Amino acid sequence: MKALILSTNDFEDSELLVPRYRLLEAGYSVDVASGQKGIIRGMHGYEVLVDKIFTEVVPAEYAVLVLPGGKAPAAIRKDPKVFTIVHHFFGANKPVGAICHGPQTLVSAGLLRKRRATCYHTVAKELQDAGALYEDSEVVVDGKLVTSRQPDDLPAFLRELMKLLTLKGVCLPDEYWGDDAAISFKAQSRI
Amino acid sequence: MKALILSTNDFEDSELLVPRYRLLEAGYSVDVASGQKGIIRGMHGYEVLVDKIFTEVVPAEYAVLVLPGGKAPAAIRKDPKVFTIVHHFFGANKPVGAICHGPQTLVSAGLLRKRRATCYHTVAKELQDAGALYEDSEVVVDGKLVTSRQPDDLPAFLRELMKLLTLKGVCLPDEYWGDDAAISFKAQSRI
Mutate to test the interface with B, among A165, A171, A190 (most CBs of B within 10 A): A171
- List strand residue ranges (DSSP E) for B35-124, in order: 39-41, 47-49, 52-53, 64-67, 96-99, 116-117
Phi/psi of residue B107, nearest 5 degrees: -60, -50
Per-residue pLDDT reduced to its tens digit, B65-89: 999 999 999 999 999 999 999 999 9
pLDDT at site B179: 41
Q: Is the dihedral of CA A187, A188, B3, B7 positive or negative?
A: negative
Per-residue pLDDT reduced to its tens digit, B37-56: 999 999 999 999 999 999 99
CA-wise closest residue to B12 among B74, B65, B54: B74
* A184 to chain B: closest CA residue: B171
How far is Cα A56 from Cα A34, in angstroms, rounded to an integer?
Answer: 10
How far is Cα B190 from Cα B171, in angstroms, rounded to an integer?
Answer: 13
How many domains does one find in chain A? 1
Q: Choose the closest CB to B171 out of A154, A156, A171.
A: A171
Per-residue pLDDT reduced to its tens digit, A73-131: 999 999 999 999 999 999 999 999 999 999 999 999 999 999 999 999 999 999 999 99
- When computed from its CA atoms, the radius of gyration of chain B, rounded to whole angstroms, is 16
* A187 to chain B: closest CA residue: B173
CA-wise closest residue to A106 among A142, A53, A60, A152: A142
The pLDDT of residue B137 is above 70: yes
- List strand residue ranges (DSSP E) for chain A, in order: 2-6, 29-34, 39-41, 47-49, 52-53, 64-67, 96-99, 116-117, 133-134, 139-142, 145-148
* A162 to chain B: closest CA residue: B170
Mean pLDDT score of chain B: 91
| Cross-chain residue pair B21–A154, CB shorter than 8 Å | yes
| Cross-chain residue pair A169–B160, CB shorter than 8 Å | no
Domain range for B149 is 2-190
* B13 to chain A: closest CA residue: A14
Is residue A101 among the annotated active site residues? Answer: yes
Q: What are the C-alpha distances in Å from B46 to residues B14, B65, B187?
A: 9, 21, 35
At position B145, the amino acid (one-letter code) is: L
Helix, strand, coil percentages, rounded to 5, for chain A: 35, 20, 40
- Catalytic pick from A44, A87, A88, A100? A100
Q: Is B49 exposed, middle or buried (0-12, 13-18, 19+ CB in 10 A)?
A: exposed
Measured in angstroms, the CA of A107 and the nearest CA of chain B are apart by: 27
How far is Cα B175 from Cα A139, in angstroms, rounded to an integer?
Answer: 21
Asked if A120 and A149 touch (Cβ cutoff 8 Å), the reply is yes
Measured in angstroms, the CA of A92 and the nearest CA of chain B are apart by: 18
Where residue A10 sits, what CATH number does that domain have? 3.40.50.880
How far is Cα B6 from Cα B50, in angstroms, rounded to an integer?
Answer: 10
pLDDT at site A36: 96
Overall size of chain A counted in residues? 191
Residues of A with CB under 8 A from a CB of B: 13-14, 17-18, 21-22, 24-25, 44-46, 154-156, 158-160, 162-163, 166, 168-174, 177, 181-182, 184-186, 189
pTM, two decimals, is 0.90
Question: HSE (CB half, 13 Å, CA atoms) of A90?
Answer: 19
Per-residue pLDDT reduced to its tens digit, B154-182: 999 999 999 999 888 766 443 333 444 33
